[in-house]
Amino acid sequence: MLDYLSFLKNRLRERLWIKPLIICVLSIGAVLLANLLDRSALGRFLPEITKESNEALLTIMASSMLVMATFAVSSMVAAYASASTSATPRSFPLIIADDVSQNALSMFVGAFIYSVVALVAFLNGQYDGRAGKFVLFTLSLVVVTTIIVTFVWWVDNIARLGRLGNTVDKVEAATDGALRKRQAMARLGGVAFYSPPATSHAVYTKAVGYVRRVDVSAMQSRAVGSHLKIVVAALPGTFCTPNRPVAWIISESSEAVSGEDAEAIGAAFAIGDARVFDQDPRFGLVALSEIASRALSPAVNDPGTAIDVTGTLVRLFVMWNECCKAAGDMPVHFDRVAVPELSLDDMLDDAFTGIARDGAGLVEVVVRLLKGLESLAELGHPSLRESALRHARLALVRAESVMKVPDDITVVREVAKFALK
């Protein structure tokens, strides 16, 4: 349940209308609260606030906040466009989920709604008492103060939002979180993967798209109730089609697997048009690799960004290795569901293949890539070492086939000696 709530929260964060709607409801509630207090005996203890003060303050807010909200939207759209063109479109969900920008837009829209509703109520005699005028004036001052603080904070943030370095940091943070979460539950809480018997019932889905989330808990509940065992065939990030099984069901009884059970197991796979970062660490590696490849394109010609991204990828794999050492035995929470682990070979393919291919002609990129792979090979993880050495040899072959300057080839060969031993 907590995993599902986290998944749902991340999807809601990618919707710009959620926070403005909440702030608007709170704004209207504040106006109604002031009206209720106006009917109490609180006015005997409060100072007198003139009608003109409230009217002037609310009028200024009503006339300016809509302009501010429009300005915020235009600035955010420009930042989103910059992130998509300078980095990769795959980073867009992370940029749009930026809390500072969403909070700023919500405050501007909410302040506009508050000022309009309060002004209409005030001009129609809803706040004739001393308490109502004082509470309304106090609320308006609080709103104005909050707007000023939010605006200053947001201006500092919007100057960085959508910039390449900021986007790389956001993708790294999302990938780091997904890797740590997966390492803590490498098989999503299930048992080790095994090949299903030939008599297993294959489960298909009608949707065409990427697996975004696998609800292993729901499958465990169905398996316990129907005396089944389930083998997951499609991890988050897998592209599914109607003819590709997402799971196999093994019945422990002589009865065949019912259509209801198969449908329930299929429903545990959330499929969408695009991949998400939550349960899919490889998606973050792909996004970082795409940023580096775009930087290496002739139109951009920015090898420095590719070098920075290479360092980021190495840092993520070092963290992965440290988590492997600290994890110990993998906990099993769902003993009737078998889930495959992530393949290190696939992860390094996602991370380094594009950089090695697109940067093969640039000696500084190849040298940095080889040094990063050498660092990974020396971490002491057997599978990581084998995969890192394989990628180092491939990077050397690509560089030798593209580079034309003998001195550059000599430098690359010297750095790649660790992979040729």
80-128 pLDDT, tens digit each: 777 667 777 787 777 777 777 777 878 888 888 888 888 887 787 777 6
Q: What is the pLDDT of residue 295?
A: 92
Query: Is the pLDDT score of 203 beyond 70?
Result: yes
Residue reference for tokens 């083998």: 231
Look at residue 380 in the predicted model and tell me its pLDDT: 86
Domain ranges for the chain: 2-162, 176-181+280-328+342-419, 189-272
Quickly list DSSP for 327-387.
Answer: H-SPP-SEEEEE-PPPPHHHHHHHHHHHHHHHTTT-HHHHHHHHHHHHHHHTSS-HHHHHH
Q: What is the identity of the amino acid at 311?
A: G
- Does residue 266 carry a pLDDT above 70? yes
pLDDT value, residue 287:
93
State the Rg of the chain over Cα: 28
Q: Which of 1-5, 64-68, 231-235, 414-418 has the lowest mean pLDDT?
A: 1-5
Q: What predicted TM-score, i.e. pTM, was given to this entire model?
A: 0.80
Mean pLDDT, range 240-266, rounded to an integer:
87
| pLDDT at residue 147, rounded to an integer | 87
Domain spanning 189-272: which CATH class is it, in words?
A: alpha beta
Most confident of 39-43, 73-77, 231-235: 231-235
Beta-carbon count within 10 A of 244 CB: 14
User: What is the rounded average pLDDT for all residues in the chain?
Assistant: 85
Q: What are phi and psi of 386, to 5 degrees?
A: -60, -45
Distance, in Å, from the CA atom of 278 to the CA atom of 291, rounded to the nearest integer, reads: 19
Strands 334-338 and 228-232: parallel
Rounded to an integer, what is the distance from CA 73 to the centroid of its chain? 21
Q: How much is the pLDDT for 132?
A: 74
CA distance linking residue 249 with residue 256, whole number of Å:
10
Which range among 38-47, 285-294, 368-377 shows the weakest confidence by mean pLDDT?
38-47
In this prediction, residue 373 carries a pLDDT of: 95
pLDDT computed for residue 13 by the predictor: 61
11 pLDDT higher than 70: no
pLDDT at 43 over 60: no
pLDDT > 90 in the chain, percent: 37
72 vs 178 pLDDT, higher one:
178
Tell me the per-residue pLDDT of 129-146, one tens digit each, with 9 for 90 and over. Answer: 777 778 788 888 888 898
Q: Give the model's pLDDT for residue 181.
A: 87
